[in-house]
Amino acid sequence: KNEVEQSPQNLTAQEGEFITINCSYSVGISALHWLQQHPGGGIVSLFMLSSGKKKHGRLIATINIQEKHSSLHITASHPRDSAVYICAVKFGNEKLTFGTGTRLTIIP
């Protein structure tokens, strides 16, 4: 069965801290999304990657294909980063399989 697991489920940190959210998957994938969902809001795509590393502002996403693992990092975290972060993978077709999300809270 194609599975996606995220950790931690919940994360609370002080403003300015370096944040890491992890995503592991069970079998080989063709692409991986990192998504952000604010309370009551829709979902925004942060990154899509299939190898290596991508950076956008204070956000960095990495993927290790051999270890079937991806991480999302946030540098110099800010309260506006508080959201649910979702990992989603494509197991070779058009559809995505989603993790259950990591709820991040950044305290001022």
Partner 1 sequence: DVKVTQSSRYLVKRTGEKVFLECVQDMDHENMFWYRQDPGLGLRLIYFSYDVKMKEKGDIPEGYSVSREKKERFSLILESASTNQTSMYLCASSLRYRGRYNEQFFGPGTRLTVL
Candidate residues 42, 57, 67, 108; the one interacting with partner 1 per rule CB under 8 A: 42
Candidate residues 22, 48, 54, 91; the one interacting with partner 1 per rule CB under 8 A: 48
Q: Does 101 bind partner 1 (CB under 8 A)?
A: yes
Kindly report the three-state secondary structure assignment for every residue of the chain.
Answer: CCCEEEECCEEEEECCCCEEEEEEECCCCCEEEEEEECCCCCEEEEEEECCEEEEECCEEEEEECCCCEEEEEECCCCHHHCEEEEEEEECCCCCEEECCCEEEEEEC
Q: Which residues within the stretch 55-94 sit at the binding site for partner 1 (CB under 8 A)?
A: 86, 88, 90, 94
- HSE at residue 71, side-chain half, CA atoms within 13 A, is 9
Scanning 16-24, 38-46, 59-67, 68-76 for contacts with partner 1 by CB under 8 A, the matching segment is: 38-46
The nearest distance, CB 30 to partner 1, in angstroms, is 6
Can you tell me the distance from the alpha carbon of 10 to that of 21, in angstroms, rounded to the nearest whole number?
A: 10
Scanning 14-22, 43-51, 54-62, 63-71 for contacts with partner 1 by CB under 8 A, the matching segment is: 43-51
Q: By CB under 8 A, name the binding residues for partner 1.
A: 30-31, 33, 35, 41-45, 48, 50, 86, 88, 90, 94-96, 98-101
